[in-house]
Structures are given as C-alpha cells and as structure tokens.
Copies of this chain bind each other. A is one copy, B any other.
Amino acid sequence: MIPAFETYLRTNTDLSDEALQQITATTMTRTLQRNELLLQEGQICRHKTFIANGLLRTFGVREDGTEHIIQFSPEHSWTLDVESYDRQTPTSFNIAAIEKTDVLLWTKADFEYLLHTIPALKNLSQELISRNIYNSRQRIFTSISATPEEKYEDFIRTYPGLLQRLPLHMIASYLGISLKTLTRIRHTQVHK
C-alpha cells in the first residue's frame, strides 16, 4: 500500500526520494473492514488520512436515525473531519468503510511537521484544499438548484466509477433524495 502512495505522490508532486521517505516513515497503515468506522461521532479527529485502496463515506446521523452522506472518498484521495482536526473538538460526523479499505494515517503533529519541512507537500495540500472549496460551492449550488434527475446525472458525470461500487440507497442519501425517487429516475432513463 505504501508503493501505491509513493506512485500517487510522484504523479502529483516533484518530491525527492528523500522527502518521500520522510513522509512514509511517519505514517501508520490500517485496514478497515466493510462498515468499520474510522471516525465516530463524538470523537476527536486526530489523523490525516490517505485512502490507498477502497472507499470511505463521511456521514451524519439525524435524531431520527437517518444517515446522510456528505462525501465519498475513493482510493487516491484524502479525508478527515477538518473542523474536528483543526480545533481538536468532537466531531458530529462519522467516517466508515463502504468496502474493505486500506488507509495511511498521520497524526496532526507529524503531518504539520511534514508540511513545514516539505514545501511541495504543503503546495499539494493547499491545492487539494482549494479544489475542495470550489467543489463544495458547486455542490451547494447543485443541491439548491437542480432537480433530482439533474443531481443524479451530475453524480454520474462527476464520479462515473462510483456507480457500480455503491448501493443505490447511499447514492440517494448523498444526493438528498429518496431511494424511490432514484429508482424512478433510473427507470425513466433506461426507457428513454
């Protein structure tokens, strides 16, 4: 799993072998089983996480018990609860594996040290945060303005590889529509 991460870094930065070595020397690896939690509501998020293989979901649970997914994190992406991590306060979200997932983890102190000593990593990190901000804004815009069908089409266009890997109820949850509405949309599209 570390060779995959090194390939990822070489593809996305011009880090030296020494820097790569420094980064991977401070990481911990962990394998999550399907449905196993990486982070649970009420906990403090203490790690920056890179998904080497697999798929995670970040979700909140309302008082009525319903789960609403705000983010999927497939391999070769990073995840964490940024507010809990920054402020070291308990999170109100959960992060769980949708399928068996291998992750790399760095403590906040270790990762901040790496950012401080490896400018290319800091640049990569900053670029990913920026892109996250742009995507969030687009997500808000789509969420308040699109029809359920347009949301599904946007999802397929944006994450074509995720469709086969997710149960429909999770996609519906992520889009903020019901499973029934989603299957109606799919039926209509198949018969167009």
Interface SS majority for chain A: helix
Closest Cβ of chain B to A92, distance in Å, is 9
The complex is assembled from copies of this chain, and their number is 2
Chain B residues near A173: list those with CB within 8 A. Answer: 144
Name the one of B82, B83, B133, B140 contacting A143, with C-beta atoms under 8 angstroms.
Answer: B140
Interchain CA distance A139-B174 in the complex, whole Å: 13
Q: How far is the CA of A75 from the CA of B12 in the complex (A)?
A: 40
| A135-184, CB < 8 A from B | 136-137, 139-141, 143-145, 173-176
Q: Which A residues are within 8 Å of any B CB, using their own CB? A: 60, 62, 66, 68, 70, 82-83, 86, 129-130, 132-134, 136-137, 139-141, 143-145, 173-176
Which 8 residue pairs of A and B lie closest in terms of their CB atoms, listed nearest first? A144-B176, A68-B145, A83-B134, A143-B143, A136-B136, A60-B141, A70-B140, A70-B141
